[in-house]
Every structure is written in C-alpha cells, then in structure tokens.
C-alpha cells in the first residue's frame, strides 16, 4: 500500500488474514487523511489555513500526535519542530517544485517556525496556530505514530510476530519463530542503494533512520537534502550523514531521529542518554558521520556490528 508518502508493507509470516490486512489498510488511510499536509481536507491542512484566525477542533489522533510532537520539540530545544511547515513548503523537496528559497524568504519564514506558538486546548479539543502564516508539518512523526497504531491492531489480533516497514520506519513485533534476534541493516549513507554500513541484532523494537540520502536535489553543483534545521532554515549541516534510533515507541524514534541528525553526534546522543520519562520511553541510537565513523549510545553497542569496510567504530 502507498500511504504517508511512501510504500507501506506488513509481513505477518503466514499468520495474516484478509480481515487483519483490511483493518491495517483502513487505519493507515485514516491516519493519512487526518495528518497529511498534502491533503487539502486533512485536519492538519485545516489547522494551517486557520493560522492566526482561530482554533480548530481536531480528532483524538491529531491532538495526541501534536502533543507528542511538542514534547519532543521541547526536549530537543527545537531541533525537532512540528511548526516547520512554512519552511518545508518553501523548499518543496521531493516534489516537482523543489527549489532553493531566497535569503529573504528564509528570513521571513524563520519567525513562524516555533513549536511554542502551537496552542493546544485538550479540554476543548482544539489546536490553534498563534501567528498568521504558520504551518505545521507532521511528516517527521506521522509514520512513527502509524507504525505504533498498526502494532496495536496486531496485538489485538494476537499476531505472534510481524515486521512493519513504513518507508524505512521499521517495527519488529514479537519474536522470530526460531527465537533468534531480529537483524536490521542500517544503510551506508555513501552507498544507500544497497550497501549496509551497520547491522543491529535486536528484540522487539522500532528502528528509524533519518539520512541525508533519503530525499534531495542538486542545484549548481550543491546538494540539498530534506532534513531542514529549524534555526537556520537550510538543510542541517551537523556532520551527521544518518541518525538511527531504536525504541519501543516508533513515534518517539521518528521524532528523535530527526532531532539527533540536526543536533549532531555529541548533543544528539546526550539527548538520548537523558531519557524521556514523561513519555514513558527510553531510546538508544547511533550516528554515522561524514568521516565514516559510527558512534552509538552505550546500551546499543553490544547489538551493533560495523559492516562497511570504510567505517570506524568510535566510543561515545
């Protein structure tokens, strides 16, 4: 199925039924219809159209996702910012209209990129963008939320094992039939078409990677990738080529992979080590840097094997 801007796959290892797959498909469609900034009738699009004008009543799904997006924005000091929509609209990376905005356009947009100006009224069930022209874009967290929701469906049906792949957002549910760990490859950012830089052996977990190779375009010999730094308005340049997060919450892993990529190795891994007790999750991670180094949080080191011949493992 194609949803949330990517190909979505679920492997139930022979345990799937038409009923289960139908329920999964319907849930993905509902999430996309609510959260996609590219669907005019979505709740997110309605919120954006009413920026500065008034609050918009939203579903429980949208309220929850925005609330969690604000939480990870606060924890990352704005490295992950759901109010980045005005910048993603300017760059339009991944569309037929991608371009490098002018310095004047960036300067005008930056004051509108501020998660603190997203006002939530949980009692009334409304969301309000306080400044005209603001836009939220939940592309950095929506697939993670969707993966978590699919896991809930599979648990309800008693699925013993599954691998969910939402365009690289992976969730490994349960245990392999032979009891061995799940094995996940992290792409070599220099050769993303097939080569693997690192493998991870894990139990039940979500694994999400943000990489500069995922979506990009080139103009006048310069490459511009899609992970925008909310503080500069330009593609992040922290020296990180890819950031991978391992967490039981795919929503958390999705947001944190973006935050760590933007923050860079030291600040990014420090963020993970601090934990997220308010959200009830602990996340581990690894970063691959431009010097072909791999650095992981301490708890993840024993699960990691470097495969790429050009890569060196560095202690955090």
Is pLDDT of 121 > 70? yes
3-class secondary structure per residue, the chain: CEECCEEEEEECCCCCCHHHHHHHHHHHHHHHHHHCCCCCCCHHHHHHHCCCCCCEECCHHHHHHHHHHHHHHHHCCCCCCCCCHHHHHHHCCCCCCCCCCCHHHHHHHHHHCCHHHEEEECCCCEEEECCCCCCCCCCCCHHHHHHHHHHHHHHHCCCCEEEEEECCEEEEEECCCCCCCEEEEEECCCCCCCCEEEEEEECCEEEEEEECCCCEEEECCEEEECCECCCCCCECCCCEEEEEEEECCHHHHHHHHHHHHHHCHHHHHHHHHHCEHHHCECCEEEEEECCCEEEECHHHHHHEEECCCCCEEECC
pLDDT (tens digit, 9 = 90+) per residue, 280-316? Answer: 999 999 999 988 899 999 999 999 999 877 888 887 6
Q: What is the pTM of this model?
A: 0.94
Which CATH number describes the domain made up of 43-129?
Answer: 1.10.3980.10
- Given CATH 1.10.730.10, say whether it is the number of domain 181-314: no
pLDDT at res. 125: 98
pLDDT (tens digit, 9 = 90+) per residue, 236-277? Answer: 999 999 999 999 999 999 999 999 999 999 999 999 999 899
pLDDT at res. 6: 79
| Arithmetic mean of pLDDT, 85-92 | 94
Q: Can you give the residue ranges of every domain in the chain?
A: 43-129, 181-314
pLDDT (tens digit, 9 = 90+) per residue, 142-192? Answer: 999 999 999 999 999 999 999 999 988 999 999 898 989 999 999 998 876
pLDDT at res. 316: 67
């Amino acid at each position: 199925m194609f949803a949330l801007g990517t190909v979505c796959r679920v492997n139930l290892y022979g345990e799937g039924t038409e009923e289960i797959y139908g329920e999964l498909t319907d849930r993905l469609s509902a999430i996309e219809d609510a959260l996609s900034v590219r669907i005019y009738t979505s709740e997110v699009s309605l919120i954006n159209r009413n920026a500065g004008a008034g609050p918009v009543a939203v579903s429980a799904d949208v309220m929850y996702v925005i609330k969690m997006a604000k939480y990870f924005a606060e924890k990352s000091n704005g490295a992950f910012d759901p109010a980045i929509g005005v910048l993603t609209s300017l760059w339009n990376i991944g569309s037929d209209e991608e371009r490098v905005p002018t310095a004047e356009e960036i300067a005008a947009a930056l004051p509108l990129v501020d998660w603190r100006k997203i006002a939530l009224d949980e009692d009334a069930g409304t969301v309000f963008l306080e400044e005209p022209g603001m836009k939220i874009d939940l592309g950095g967290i929506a697939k993670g939320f969707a993966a978590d929701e699919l896991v809930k469906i599979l648990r309800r049906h008693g699925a013993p094992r599954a691998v969910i792949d939402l365009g690289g957002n992976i969730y490994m549910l349960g245990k392999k039939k032979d009891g061995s760990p799940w094995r996940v490859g992290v792409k070599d950012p220099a050769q993303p078409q097939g080569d693997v830089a690192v493998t991870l052996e894990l139990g039940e977990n979500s694994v999400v990677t943000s990489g500069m190779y995922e979506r990009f375009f080139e103009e006048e010999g310069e490459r511009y990738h899609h992970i925008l730094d909310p503080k500069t308005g330009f593609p992040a340049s922290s020296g990180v080529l890819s950031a991978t997060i391992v967490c039981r919450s795919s929503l958390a892993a999705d947001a944190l992979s973006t935050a760590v990529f933007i923050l860079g190795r030291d600040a990014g891994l420090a963020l993970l080590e601090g934990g997220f007790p308010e959200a009830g999750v602990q996340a581990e991670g690894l970063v691959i840097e431009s010097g072909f180094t791999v650095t992981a949080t301490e708890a993840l080191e024993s699960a990691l094997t470097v495969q790429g011949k050009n890569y060196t493992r560095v202690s955090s």
